Amino acid sequence: MSDILFILEFAGLILEGFIMTVIMTFLGLAGGFVLGVLSALGDVYGGKFLKIIINAYVEFFRGSPLIVQLLMFYFSIPILTGIKWDAFTAGAVTLMLNSGAYQKGYFKGAIEAVFKDQLLAAKSLGMTFKQTLMHIVLPQALRIVIPPWTNEYVSLGLSTSALIVIGLRELTNISKSIAAQTFRPLEVYLFTSIIYLVWITVSLKVLDYIYNRVRIPGLEVTSEI
């Protein structure tokens, strides 16, 4: 047992990597949330040209590997634009755009799941489109979307490991450094896997609890694939 506890010598580094992983996950989700909602609204209620732009954005980020996107934003975009940014910024922007493309499908399905009768009723009461959106559609859509959004949270949280390709010191990158330093890859990566497992499992329990408290019986989202 004492032999395995060597990992505790690197507790500070592992904590640093885990905190970075959590930060990048929530930045990606938060930015993706805004992009997803706006893209879904544009796709459902926007004009033809706007829909073309949104679908092109979605297809690119859902149709190409995250690692390629990270490499492109970290190395290629600065060359093309002259804008210099660090690995943290490049990674955060890429995760936001990537997550937004996926969340768009979830939010579109949730918006379309709101009964049309409610929209007609709101119109008959004299509510404007903005009022209907803010008081009828979005409050229900945000509750309906929790289960598929939970999947995105899990997927993005695990996908942060791809940030290793641009050198960001997240959990996987830190683990790689420790494994190389100690020549104990089995124990290090097993411990890292347990951290991911515990984090995701606890998060899922919390999100399931929230959904059960706010769910709307009879309404389910059909995500866009």
What's the pLDDT score for residue 213?
87
What's the pLDDT score for residue 220?
57
Collect all residues with Cβ–Cβ distance below 8 Å to 25 and sequence separation of at least 6.
Answer: 95, 153, 156, 157, 160
Sequence length of the chain is 225
Q: 3-state class of 91 per DSSP?
A: helix
> Which pTM value belongs to this model?
0.90
Q: What is the mean pLDDT of residues 13-30?
A: 97
Whether residue 223 has pLDDT greater than 90 = no
Q: What is the pLDDT of residues 85-102, one digit of tens each?
A: 999 999 999 999 999 999
Q: For residues 89 and 24, is the Cβ–Cβ distance under 8 A?
A: no
Q: For residues 2 and 170, is the Cβ–Cβ distance under 8 A?
A: no
Pick the CATH number of 4-214 from 3.10.105.10, 1.10.3720.10, 3.40.50.300, 1.10.630.10: 1.10.3720.10
Q: What is the pLDDT of residues 164-222, one digit of tens each?
A: 999 999 999 999 999 999 999 999 999 999 999 999 999 999 999 998 888 876 555 55
Token pair of 145, please?
A: 């979307």
What ranges do the domains of the chain cover?
Answer: 4-214
Burial group, residue 209, by CB count within 10 angstroms (0-12, 13-18, 19+): exposed
Residue 168: count of CB within 10 angstroms of its CB:
23
3-state secondary structure 121-141: HHHHCCCCHHHHHHHHHHHHH
Q: What is the pLDDT of residues 41-92, one digit of tens each?
A: 999 999 999 999 999 999 999 999 999 999 999 999 999 988 889 999 999 9
Cα 122 from Cα 138, distance rounded (Å): 14
